[in-house]
Structure 1
Amino acid sequence: MIRSIPHLWEKRGSQCIEINPGSEKNRCAKSMDVYPDVMGFESAQGQGGLQWVAEVETEDTVTLLKARTHWRQFAALGVPFYVIVPIGFRDLASVIAQHEGVPVAGIYHYWFDNRELRLISHEGVGYDIHCA
């Protein structure tokens, strides 16, 4: 799932998208030892500054503990922080973020329609991404 997310943002301009799916630690955010699931960097080569970070959650990981241990760290990076949750979990993610004082720039829903990953932003803007 995380491996499909970069296609969403890569279509929006010349930026480099880096991912850390599962327990992989491919690239850290800034110079800190912090590894969000998805990060957008300024230039297509990834040499520019960090522009935003996103964390992809499952039904089991939209929790207070996750907000305390991960969301708070990512939101403190000084760039927009997004949460990507399964369809139907947006309100819960929003309540958790508010409860924990975590500033979230946006919450995206995702679901699968056959092998197609579907995303919709908090503004209701939809995206379709093919998952191989």
Structure 2
Amino acid sequence: MTGIEKPAAKRLTNFARGALAALMLAAAGAALWQTPAISAEKAVVIPPPAMDEKPAAGTAKAIFAGGCFWGVQGVFQHVKGVTSAVSGYAGGDKDTAVYETVGTGRTGHAEAVEITYEPSEVTYGQLLQVYFSVAHN
């Protein structure tokens, strides 16, 4: 190798090392890439209630429990007529109402959401329809 060829060869070697490192990084990134889970279930078509309460004045409350309370809360926050959706726990002892502990399934709690709604805008039957269509698992 002559003195003129050495820098070109060195540049090629450095380029090859850089390219190899970039390819390895890309391969590692592709292997570790978290694609969106396809576990999101489609809504189940539930017919409207055959019988329902007559619209009433004022507000009413309902409590729904099912899986992750944040998911249930998120669904009901977007329902017209729902004025509040608050996550919490049903059952169990107050002392063990801690998210990490409840998640073990040994505390007797259920993750629940208290819904406050206007019965003149959305009925309890319609809330049940929403619950069994998209929120219940």
Structure with greater Cα Rg: 2
Q: TM-score range by the shorter chain?
A: under 0.3
TM-score normalised per structure 2:
0.23
Q: RCO (CA 8 Å, sep 6+): is it higher in 1 or 2? A: 2
TM-score normalised per structure 1:
0.23
